[in-house]
Amino acid sequence: MPTILDCTVFTLDMPGARDVFLKVIDLWGRNDEDTSLAEIFRANGVPPAQLTWASNKWDLWLQVLTLAAKKGTLRALMYALADQLAPALRGMLDHLPDAAPVDALTAFTVGGGAFDARLLPQHRAFLDRNPVRAALDDLASEVGARVLIVDGPSGSGRSHIWFLIAHGCARMGLPLDAAVRIQPSHITVAGQAWGPLDLMNEVAQRLDWPPPEFDPQAQPDTHVRMLSRWFKTNATARVGTVRWLVIDDVSAVYMTEACQRMAAELANAAATAEAGMLRIVLLGYSGILSADAEGYVSREHIVYLDAEALKAYFKDLAASVGEDLDSEAVEMLVSQAAGAPPYTVPLPFRRIGAGIGRVAGKYLQTVGGQ
């Protein structure tokens, strides 16, 4: 069976990849150019001139392993290192776990971790947002936060985060219905902003709970108080495995003030361990939570993405297959995806988003397969 040494893509989440990476770091941890290493690199498809020797040892060796994998010479390189410089390396190489080959498109789509993907299904490009990715990783861990709040101006891409969450949950092997989204802007309620009961009826439907039975004519404050208790009771009893509840459009445009407080109460419950295994993500909320919850939530503020973010995206795209694009090549990819400059701020992602994904996919299929 093939191992990581036979793959044309090298990412640290692949079976055996981290073992190989940490071993070479341990054996050759210096940053300065080593003549003996350089000769072995050159003989096995990794031109020393393409390496950033001045970078830290982690980046240098990740660059070496990525380039060798792309060239299809990773196995030859590693055994050459073992035979010529470090015989003890062979024992580890001979016992690497099986690893199914991964192509460049799959690697860039999947990413190294659950929320690292830059190209999601249906050609959805997901640019930048590394702090949000880190916050989602924390939310997914057993010891991390249980609530993430993301705010930012309209058009900054808050709602797009849902697609990364859904993809990440699938990557973690969670059931298809483990992550659900509630988005008032896509569900009209007689043309009115949602109230607390509207929100909680939708929560019950999406989580497959019995609907709340409260007097629809009750005062909003009464609804918030009673529905908070109803939510905690059901979440504690019914959410025994990890589920993600993403509430979008948490703003005055789509929710009454009481409904926004209702959304905050759900976050309060999750942050204070009163919502079972539920993770809560509020998109668009800029208010505060209760004093005992506020210190245990993650908050991220996002801003508009511009042409520079798109250029960085294509640079990362190239780096994922061991390429280093010059500025002219990057500009060409950007123009293919977004049209000719000048570019607006923010970029019109609703119009060009699918185009970015198609250009990225085509690039990976052509360059990554060389």
User: 179 with 60, same domain?
Assistant: no
User: 54 with 159, same domain?
Assistant: no
User: 41 with 158, same domain?
Assistant: no
* Rounded Cα gap, residues 169 and 242, in angstroms: 10
Within 190-252, where are the H helices? 196-207, 220-238
Q: Which residues pair with 150 in a beta bridge?
A: 283, 300
Give domain status of residue 359, yes or no.
no
Choice among 297-306, 318-327, 328-337 with the minimum mean pLDDT: 318-327
Contact 195, 166 (CB under 8 A): no
- At 34-80, the pLDDT tens digits run 788 999 999 998 988 878 777 677 778 888 898 888 788 999 999 99
Give domain status of residue 332, yes or no.
no
Question: Residue 175: its pLDDT value, please?
Answer: 86
How many domains does the chain fold into? 2
User: 169 with 63, same domain?
Assistant: no
Q: Which domain holds residue 74?
A: 4-102
273-289 as b/e, with b when 16 or more CB fall inside 10 Å?
ebbbbbbbbbbbbeeeb
User: 185 with 290, same domain?
Assistant: yes
Q: What does residue 148 show for φ and ψ, rounded to 5 degrees?
A: -125, 130
User: 160 with 13, same domain?
Assistant: no
Choose the most confident range, by mean pLDDT, from 10-24, 198-212, 319-333. Answer: 198-212
